Amino acid sequence: MKKEYLIAFSSFYKAAYARDILMGERYRAIVVKLPPELIHSCGYGLSIVTTNIQPVLTQLENMEIAHKGVYMADNSAGRLKYKKIG
């Protein structure tokens, strides 16, 4: 089952660079402004819908692209929340 993940970065430019790398590897990623409950300052990240986030994280690690956190979207209680998973 596919799930939505957010990968947080310290700037728009890092998120855009990571998106470009991932799209070159055939991953679909969208640059988004992060919800304020995830990062207490201005922050951007990537939204990725996939069945397994691990290959995405491995690709970023292999390209030495650091992120600030990985969150999984959870809408099971009728309210969208994000759970930190990495």
Full domain range(s) for residue 63: 3-76
Residue type, 6: L
Task: Report which DSSP code applies to 55.
Answer: H
Per-residue pLDDT tens for 36-61? 887 766 689 999 999 999 999 999 99
CA distance 57 to 77: 27
CATH number of the domain to which 7 belongs:
3.30.70.260
Per-residue pLDDT for 26 more than 80? yes
Residue 19: CB atoms within 10 A of its CB come to 22
* Number of independent structural domains in the chain: 1
Which tokens go with 48?
Answer: 């990725």
| 86 located within any domain | no
Q: Is residue 83 part of a domain?
A: no
In a domain, 8, yes or no: yes
Q: Percentage of the chain surpassing pLDDT 90?
A: 71
Secondary structure class of 18 (helix, strand, coil): helix
